[in-house]
Amino acid sequence: MIDIYQINPGLWMILAGLICALVPKGDAFAMVRKAFIIGAPIFAGVMITQIYTSQEVLAGQINIGGLELTTLRIDNLSMVWGYLFCLIAVINGIYGFHEKCRITDSSALIYAGAAIAGVLSGDLLTLFLFWELTAISSVFLIWKGGQRAYAAGVRYLALHVLSGVLLLAGAIFYAQSNGGDYSFNDIGIDSLGGWLILIAIGIKCGFPFLHMWMQDAYPKASITGTVILSAFTTKMAIYALARGYVGVDILIYIGAIMTCFPVFFALIENDLRRVLAFSLNNQLGFMVCGIGIGTELALNGVVGQVFVHVIFKSLLFMSIGAVMYRVGTAKASELGGLFRSMPITAVFCLIGAGSIAAFPLLAAFVTKAMIISAVIYEASYDPSLYVIAAMLLFASAGVMEHSGIKVPYFTFFSHDSGRRVKEAPWNMLVAMGLAALLCIVLAFPWGGYQMLYSLMPYEANYQPYTVDHVVFQLQLLFAAISAFCVLKKFKLYPAEKRGEILDFDWTYRKFGLGIMQWIGAMWTRLSVQTTRLRERAIEGAGRRLFHIFSPAGAMSESAPSGLAAVLTAAMLIIVLIFVYFVR
Amino acid sequence: MTDINEPEALSRKELEERQNAHPFAVPFLWLGNQKVIDNFIWLPVLGMIAMIALGIVFPQAKPAPWDAIPGSWALIGFVAYSFIVLCAKPLTALLARDESYYGEGGLADPEYSTDPDITGEAHHD
């Protein structure tokens, strides 16, 4: 008898995804798939609730080839990610309700299921399995973006499979240095395995120079696909960091850089889905930095930030996706004035923008402050961390620029593009409404953010709604908006222009490709020469063999009987020696 | 050329705009009014001044070194934002290429295009 409480809840979603893949096409069957899309994450969430008992639960142990695997671990850390992924999978399911696509439905379920199973896995090998499954299942969401998304999907897959390979190699090295123990706990960077796993995670969560897949693939995926993609992969990587690399100093600096560099790219990027992908990268920086700080306050901030970030980032992607669905583009240069046609979407987008910018009473106000405060508190022991705190404040102004102002302003306000379209479909509005409601509720001073605190791994005593915090945060935000208005008034704010912004992926998409093409051309030239030499050599060898073995050759000439006897005796000796030793 | 300052022309334009707008948007069409846009700046500026004043009265409980300067967070916000935006020109010159640069067709294209803030005229690639 199978005990369903021993089964990783993510597997139920993967199973639902596989069933969806087998459900025939057609409108009637599409409703069956939609029932799975919304029902499966709810079921998985219920299973997590049933299994988790406020203590760490280890279950689903299996032995494969002498390796003891723990396929299910639910504790106060993995539980948060598990619930979050179930919640956002339901919201995404509602958002994509209008889309009658079997591939999207099944890959979305398998992808979300793999992410849930990954964060609920108790050892590195199980994590590796679901790590790769997230990559393989999610690439279909990118390819649903059409022909122009194909190459981006291949690049995405290549990098993520590489990440998986590094994770596996790291796990093996780590286990070797750890007495063969594959359990996924604190790893650190004291061993080669630890470094390899860190790089594997770094690819997935967009460390500098490893981040390009995000801005390359996400804007090219289908509308629903981008929303789904934004929720899982990177947050799964943040979970892995929070599990294995708490307090690793290098993460403070990596995180701080991650918060700052995407700000500049987002500024000059015209495609708003790509702007949001840069913004995603920037927000991940706050989380990485918090994990590097590693104090209880910082980790609570990271967990809270992950939770609200998934919601408000999805909300922003959903609102731009709704615009794209109606208008046909997400390019800022082609949009503007859409509040006249899509006022409800505009309000939801503004709530998402306010949340990411950390306005009081909106989502990130509580959680981002926890991370920045944790850095400032630690800086009282290590003054060099004031530089990091300053970088985070700088990045906060940057967030206000690209997500707080640019995205809603150029989409819904700015100049009137003259487009008069319908409001978003009802299901998109419901999904955005739910996300917007959560953005407000989870920052509400009276019983709201306390719900978020109840999910945090440590007891949270941080008071976000103090006068000084509200006042200084509003100083920053009002100043940033004032700067925008001043720069706009004096025509110093750059106009949105169509174009391709070069990023680090240029190194392999252009430079690397150029080098490979050059090597290919050289190889072709070289092979012409080598073919000629080879042909000559073969021809020469053939001619010599002919001279020796042909009927007119040297070997056909009659030999003296004495020489023949010696040769025969020599061959006999060789055979005898061979037989003697082989026996 | 229609003079938009004429009450009759303005009302006709308004009427047309109301007819084309979503019913929920009608009470907020004033947001597109040029006067409102021009004067919007006062809202954040006054907010910022008020917050700087309140910041002097209620200083940070756990101050960073820069909190010794009154209005430090406003200063950081204004300077950081302006710096980021002013970097746009050199960065665009350095990093922006044609949409077809990689030969993969770029991102999804619309049916038509308008270039705001510069020409105000429709253009096609």
- Model confidence over A413-463: pLDDT tens digits? 988 888 888 899 999 999 999 999 999 999 999 999 999 999 999 999 899
B30 touches chain A (CB under 8 A): no
The residue whose two tokens read 């609730």 is A49
- C-alpha torsion angle, residues A207, A208, A214, A216 (rounded to 10): -160
Among the partner-chain residues B41, B73, B95, the one whose CB lies closest to the CB of A476 is B73
Q: Which of B60, B92, B109 sits opposite A468 (nearest CB)?
A: B60
Residues 6+ apart with CB under 8 A from A214: A206, A234, A277, A280, A281
Chain B residues 95-114 within an 8 A CB cutoff of chain A: 95-102, 104-114
| Cβ of residue B64 closer than 8 Å to a chain A Cβ | yes
Q: Which residue has the tokens 């998986």?
A: A164
pLDDT at res. A551: 78
Count other C-beta atoms under 10 Å from residue A480's C-beta: 30
Interatomic CA distance for residues B26 and A570, integer angstroms: 108
Q: What is the CA radius of gyration of chain B?
A: 23
pTM for the structure as a whole:
0.88
| Longest CA pairwise span in chain A (Å) | 116
Report the C-alpha gap between A300 and A374 in whole angstroms: 10
- Write down how long chain A is: 583
User: Which residues have C-beta within 8 Å of that of residue B48, sequence separation ≥ 6?
Assistant: A475, A478, A479, A482, B74, B78
B52: chain A residues, CB-CB within 8 Å: 475
Report yes or no: B32 and A415 within 8 Å, Cβ to Cβ: no
Segment A83-97, tens digit of pLDDT? 999 999 999 999 999
CB atoms within 10 A of CB A330: 28
Distance from CA of B16 to the nearest CA of A (A): 12
Q: What is the pLDDT of residues A159-207, one digit of tens each?
A: 999 999 999 999 999 999 988 889 999 999 999 999 999 999 999 999 9
From first to last of the 583 residues of chain A, give the pLDDT tens digit.
678 889 999 999 999 999 999 988 877 888 999 999 999 999 999 999 999 987 889 998 998 888 889 999 999 999 999 999 999 999 999 999 988 888 999 999 999 999 999 999 999 999 999 999 999 999 999 998 888 889 999 999 999 999 999 999 999 999 999 888 899 999 999 999 999 999 999 999 999 999 999 999 999 998 999 999 999 999 999 999 999 999 999 999 999 999 999 999 999 999 999 999 999 999 999 999 999 999 999 999 999 999 999 999 999 999 999 998 888 888 998 898 899 999 999 999 999 999 999 999 999 999 999 999 999 999 999 999 999 999 999 999 999 999 999 999 999 998 888 888 889 999 999 999 999 999 999 999 999 999 999 999 999 989 999 999 999 999 999 999 999 999 999 999 988 888 889 988 899 888 998 999 999 999 988 988 888 898 999 999 988 888 877 777 777 776 667 777 888 889 899 999 888 877 6
Q: For residue A512, list chain B residues with Cβ-Cβ distance below 8 A.
A: none
Are residues A471 and B31, on separate chains, in Cβ contact within 8 Å? no
